[in-house]
Amino acid sequence: EGLYTQYASPNPPYGVPVSYYQSSAQAQPPQITILDRSGHVVRTLTGTNTAGLNRVLWNFTAAPPVKWTGAANPAFAGPDDGATVVPGRYTARISLNGHTFTQPFTVKPDPQSTMTLAQMQQSYDAFAKLNRIYSSVDVMLNNLDTVGKALDREPSSPNAGAQAALDRARQTHAS
């Protein structure tokens, strides 16, 4: 037992590492864009902005749905990741100091997966559709919160009925 436990190391990080060098920090942190084979944006990541070697890890997921900014509990705001992408060709694109760099790479299927590529695509499409629905609901909730805040700022608003309806809607969505 002792011989094998002494030489263990942690697993490598899960995802695609995107490494880049900056001689100095930029005015804004660099944006790393992951593109699919067709050139559509899959996910945009914000890079670290320090002089020297920087690394960002993409975890094989698409952009998450819009978050509900008024959620009482952060867990209710929505997921941090979107659907897991289908194996295939992708490209990482980054702009540094006015120059754009791209690097193509391949996402390979998990060798232990029993799903076919067609099943993976179906799963991705279904998850992406749910995220679009989730986003539209959260956009509506964010808009309702904005209206509610505007009504809260009105002193003794003549729209007391609208305020009561908004309060009922908030209670319904909070539970």
pLDDT (tens digit, 9 = 90+) per residue, 89-105?
999 999 888 899 999 99
Q: Which helix (H) or strand (E) holds 10?
A: none
- Tokens standing for 4? 């094998």
Q: In a structure prediction context, what are the per-residue pLDDT tens digits for the chain, which is 175 residues long?
A: 556 666 667 888 899 999 999 999 999 999 999 999 999 999 999 999 999 999 999 999 999 999 999 988 998 899 999 999 999 999 999 988 889 999 999 999 999 999 999 999 999 999 999 999 999 999 999 999 888 888 777 766 556 666 666 676 677 666 5
Report yes or no on whether pTM surpasses 0.75: yes
In Å, what is the CA distance from 38 to each residue of 84, 108, 141, 152? 17, 17, 33, 47
Dihedral (Cα; 134, 139, 144, 148), 10-degree rounding: 120
Asked if 26 and 49 count as a contact pair (C-beta separation under 8 A), the reply is: yes
